[in-house]
Amino acid sequence: MIRTRRRFLVTAGAVVGAAMSAAVELSARERVSAENAWVPWAPPTVEVHAAYMTIVNRSNEDQSLVSAESPDYQRVELHSSSVKNGVNEMRGLERVAVPANNRVTFEPGGLHLMLIGPKRPRAVGDRVRIVLRLQNGEPVEVSAIVRRRNAESPVGHDHHGAHQ
Amino acid sequence: MIVKQRHILAAAAVVAAIACATIAAARVDGVILDRAAQVQGFTLEDHSGKPFTADSLKGHWSLILAGFTNCPDVCPFTLANLEQVVAELGLRVRPDHLPAVIFLAVDPDRDRANLKDYVVQFHPDFIGVTGAIDEIDRALKGLDAVAVRSKPDARGNYSVSHSAAVAVVDPQGRLAAKINPPFDPPPTAEFLADLFRRRVEPR
Interchain contact, B114 vs A45, CB within 8 Å: yes
| B79/chain A closest Cα distance in angstroms | 10
- Containing A4, the helix (H) or strand (E) segment is helix A2-29
| B54/chain A closest Cα distance in angstroms | 23
How far are the Cα atoms of A118, B50, B141 from residue B112, in angstroms, in the given order? Answer: 19, 13, 21
- Bridge partners of A82, per DSSP, are A89
Residues with pLDDT less than 50, chain B:
1-24, 202-203
For residue A87, give the nearest of B72, B113, B163 by CB distance.
B163
Q: How many CB atoms lie within 10 A of CB B139?
A: 29
How far are the Cα atoms of B71, B83, B106, B159 from residue B138, in angstroms, in the given order? Answer: 22, 26, 11, 20
> Is the domain covering A28-149 a CATH 2.60.40.1890 domain?
yes
The pLDDT of residue B154: 85
Residue count of chain A, please give it: 164
- Bridge partners of A32, per DSSP, are A57
- The whole model's pTM is what? 0.81
**Cα three-residue angle B28-A113-A95, rounded to 5 degrees:** 105
State how far the Cα of A126 lies from the Cα of A48, in Å rounded to an integer: 17
Q: Name the residue in chain A with its Cα closest to that of B84.
A: A150
**Cα three-residue angle A24-A26-A32, rounded to 5 degrees:** 110
State how far the Cα of A49 lies from the Cα of A116, in Å rounded to an integer: 6
- Give the DSSP letter of residue B170: -
Residues with pLDDT less than 50, chain A:
1-4, 25-29, 153-164
State how far the Cα of A145 lies from the Cα of A82, in Å rounded to an integer: 25
CA quadruple A104, A108, A109, A112: dihedral sign: positive
The crossing angle, in degrees rounded to 10, of helices B185-200 and B74-89 is 50
Mutation for testing the A interface, residue in B31, B68, B73 having most A CBs under 10 Å: B73
Residues of A in contact with B117 (CB under 8 A): 43-46
Task: Map out the domains of chain A as residue ranges.
Answer: 28-149
Q: Is A87 helix (H, G, I), strand (E, B) or coil?
A: strand
- Bridge partners of A88, per DSSP, are A83, B162
Picking from B32, B21, B51, B72, the residue whose alpha carbon sits closest to that of residue B197 is B32
Interchain contact, A43 vs B121, CB within 8 Å: yes
Q: Does B77 touch chain A (CB under 8 A)?
A: yes
Q: Is B185 helix (H, G, I), strand (E, B) or coil?
A: helix
- Give the DSSP letter of residue B132: -
- How would DSSP label each residue in B65-107? EEE-TT--SHHHHHHHHHHHHHHHHTTTS-GGGPPEEEEEES-
